[in-house]
Structure 1
Amino acid sequence: MGKPRIEEWTQLRGIAFLAIVMQHNIAEYIYRSDIEQPDSVMLTMIYHLTRFGTPTFVFLSGVMLFYHHRQVKPEYRPFIRKRFGDIYVPFVLWTLIYWLSVRIFTPAFWLSGTPDVRSLIRELFIPQTGYHLWFVIMIFQFYVLFPLFRLGVQFVNSQLTKITRITRMQSVLLLVLLAAGVYSLLMKWSYYDMASWTAALAKPWSTMLEYRSYSWVMYWFYFLLGAVCAWAVDTWRNWTIRALPWMISLFIGMYFWLGYDVLRGSGDVVNLNISTYLKPTTFIIIMAQMFMLYGFLVLLRGKTTKFLGALTWIGRYSFGGYLVHALVIYAIAYFTRPLQLGGWHLPVTLLSFLVTTATALAISYGLSRLPGSRYTVGLQRKRSRNLPGQGSNTAEPRLKAGSVTPLSASASPSSETS
């Protein structure tokens, strides 16, 4: 018997996917030269509603891995082999698709005689055309290191049983707060200090700091927070409900602060990088928003509505949608970039978001029904067993349960705006 499905995880994944798609649509339009200030300000305000997206996927990756492997130690080679097929092979395939899709519309590509293979190899390590694929590189590091994370969490758990002065819940809460403080210090170094460190250091250390957003080190807190959730799901639900009023208040305060911070620090063009993930204040709003959304989903748990059903469906196909959505944005931009959109950037961004979401999810769903879907969208088809009285050809393709892939539904775990 498999473990019971935690429905709010799939729904939270769906919300996070929508947030990332909105981020990237905003980034497509907010930097255009003909944008007017009201549109620019409004898009900035919407942007700060989406900052929880990518860190939430890291959190859900930790949740699903620890949930499925809390008692069962994974055999490392089969574990990595499976994740390589579910996650890294689709990454390589879509890297090639993005690399080709950008170049086939460039005359120099056809006139050069031989394609620049070095740029393709570079894309596998530092994605540019598929700018969002950096996340797959980063999250795969957690899968590689997962046995070590698991050992560490089990050790901490064994030590907690020896503490008698305070309750176990209080011990875990203190550890979470301590880890949050350490992570905040890391964010402070990243945003305010590491640029000067990069200039002072020699290679390869300067290169590692320059591309630090590609490293698991910058996102470890969200992953380990997922372990806390997976270890005690009901307790976590109670936490999110009890903390909901505080999280709502904290989110509202940080929302206004981040908006003010970006507008104050920007010139004629809004600089969204002021709200990078790797910044202490952004970390605070991400945590407030993630806890707040989780609390709302817990309050709605057990209810059957079209809205929750839609979120579950989106979460199920979100990994494939994530892989393809930037390609859809490119296709839309092919038609919108030559246009003068002065005064229309906000409605066009919202329309582009709706078209991107629907198209990306439709492609993900379509590919999931085809053979080889594991290597295209990270979802593996499974034929149901024949029931008595049924012929051998009546099996219906279904998504394979138990597969742990970023943003996918069946088990799943999993950008920064470029």
Structure 2
Amino acid sequence: MAKRHLYEIDFMRALIMFAVVCVHVTTVYFTMAAYNTPLFFAFGAAITSLHFTRESFMLITGIVLFVTYYDRPFRLVDFWKKRFLLIGIPYLVWTVAYIVFKGLYYPLEHYWDPADMSKNFIRSMLTGNQYYLYFLFVTIQLYILFPLILVGLRKFKRYHLHIFIGSFVLQLLLMALCKFVIPGIPANGLPPVVEKIVEYREQFILTYQFWYVGGGIIACHYDQIKQYIERHAASVVLALLASVGILWIHFFADIFVLGESEPTAQMVVQPIMIPYSLVISIALLCVGVAWARRRSKPAWQPLTRFIKTASNASFGILLIQPILIVYVERVLQIVTTSGASKWLHYGLWPVSILFVYLAAMVLSHGLSRIPFVSYVVGRKSQLVKPVRQPTASM
């Protein structure tokens, strides 16, 4: 059976990665805004509404994996060999790269001590705590568990709806645990293993189980779900608008009614982000399907080429953007301390987002075209491309 390509997922991948860059660049501006000012809260609300990206990326990861393997022969060794090469090499290389970069950009006493460096490297590899490598660390856990999830969804096909609902409810409970219970538990009162899981809960796959299980179930019934979404596109748009409004009300109520701190109100791991992220993901899929139907038309070719490039480069963008953002932040600090107008400072906000996204895309695309080096951005490559044989003319 030929491998199926989901063009709408390309669209989602490109757009979600743009939202990721928006979150991280906007966070820089948020931290520089005066505390408790309208601008401070506006940036906080904007960042919160963009916090669907982690969940959406995990959802499409589950969809792609199960669309690829659910109805096809599955060979465990081949799967692990392919997947771990494309995730393990970037994880190792960028862990080292980030450690070196921090040592060069933020020089600290004893940072380069061999013993300290070794401990830092081992801790980073075991926790994924360097910048946004937690996503790769969680993905590695997914690849380990994927064969079991695949067997389970194949075996219990009749109960997919029950599993989906159960996984959704479990996810809500886990998020409630993360926001309302765990912060009040003294870490030293827990067993050592549980203490580590709690400490690194945002790098632990159970924290995101619904997005992989749910993505798998969506993939198992992909065509029916896609058709349903297309038929109810207007309802999807209304749900999207309502969800954003509800999230903003929830954000400001947490701060001004419940008295929560801004970081707590902005948390990614909180119950409201589950239905919100699911609605956003469905809306993105709906738009992606609409684009996929038009992508071959001549007038749409520039956008189609851009989306293809951005989608292929998205993994590399995730890995490259932290370093670019550090330098963007440095430029903004220079602009601020130079006494320049606030209009210039905040006028650079969209420019900063576009710079990081496009520069990271160009760098990722360039690296992906270099044999072997391409693996650092999760792309396979060949030294020599196979030559296509000309077809005989009639």
**What TM-score range do you get, normalising by the shorter chain?**
0.7 to 0.9
User: What is the aligned partner in structure 1 of residue 127 from structure 2?
Assistant: 126
The letter of the residue matching 2:8 is E
What TM-score comes out, normalization by structure 1 length?
0.81
Looking at structure 1, the residues matched to 290 and 23 of structure 2 have their Cα atoms a distance apart, in angstroms, of 27
Q: 1:62 to 1:107 in 2, by over 3 A?
A: closer
Looking at structure 2, the residues matched to 63 and 111 of structure 1 have their Cα atoms a distance apart, in angstroms, of 42
**Contact 1:317–1:364 (8 Å) recurs in 2:** yes
Equivalent residue of 1:225, what SS? helix
User: What is the aligned partner in structure 1 of residue 195 from structure 2?
Assistant: 206
User: Within 5 Å, which residues of 2 pair with 1:4-23?
Assistant: 4-23=4-23
Percent identity between the two aligned chains: 20
Gaps in structure 2 of 5+ consecutive residues:
none
Deviation at 1:277, TM superposition (A): 2.7
Q: For each residue in 1:61-117, what CA deviation from the matched residue of structure 2 results, as whole angstroms up to 9, or x when unmatched?
A: 111211221133433233223222110111110111111111113444589665731
Q: For each residue in 1:183-234, what CA deviation from the matched residue of structure 2 results, as whole angstroms up to 9, or x when unmatched?
A: 2222222221222345442322122112111111111111122212322321
Deviation at 1:292, TM superposition (A): 1.2
Equivalent residue of 2:78, what SS? helix
Q: For each residue in 1:230-262, what CA deviation from the matched residue of structure 2 results, as whole angstroms up to 9, or x when unmatched?
A: 223210202322454444333323322332333
Which of 178, 189, 202 is matched with 2:177 structurally?
Answer: 189
Q: Is it true that 1:234 corresponds to 2:223 in the alignment?
A: yes
User: What is the aligned partner in structure 1 of residue 168 from structure 2?
Assistant: 180
Q: Is it true that 1:336 corresponds to 2:332 in the alignment?
A: yes
CA-atom RMSD in angstroms = 2.8
The letter of the residue matching 2:120 is S
Q: For each residue in 1:26-79, what CA deviation from the matched residue of structure 2 results, as whole angstroms up to 9, or x when unmatched?
A: 122211254783432332343244222111111121112112211334332332
Q: 1:74 to 1:388 in 2, by over 3 A?
A: closer
Equivalent residue of 1:65, what SS? helix
Equivalent residue of 1:256, what SS? helix
User: What is the aligned partner in structure 2 of residue 325 from structure 1?
Assistant: 321
Looking at structure 2, the residues matched to 211 and 249 of structure 1 have their Cα atoms a distance apart, in angstroms, of 36
Q: Is it true that 1:253 corresponds to 2:254 in the alignment?
A: no
Point out the more displaced range, 12-21 or 178-187: 178-187
Deviation at 1:368, TM superposition (A): 0.6
Q: Is it true that 1:301 corresponds to 2:292 in the alignment?
A: yes
Q: 1:269 to 1:339 in 2, by over 3 A?
A: farther
Q: 1:218 to 1:269 in 2, by over 3 A?
A: closer
Deviation at 1:125, TM superposition (A): 2.7
Q: How many residues align?
A: 377
Q: Is it true that 1:315 corresponds to 2:311 in the alignment?
A: yes
Deviation at 1:25, TM superposition (A): 0.8
Looking at structure 2, the residues matched to 337 and 115 of structure 1 have their Cα atoms a distance apart, in angstroms, of 34
Q: For each residue in 1:285-307, what CA deviation from the matched residue of structure 2 results, as whole angstroms up to 9, or x when unmatched?
A: 10111111111222333203233
User: What is the aligned partner in structure 2 of residue 395 from structure 1?
Assistant: none
More helix by share: 2
Q: 1:332 to 1:48 in 2, by over 3 A?
A: same
Deviation at 1:357, TM superposition (A): 0.3
Deviation at 1:327, TM superposition (A): 1.0
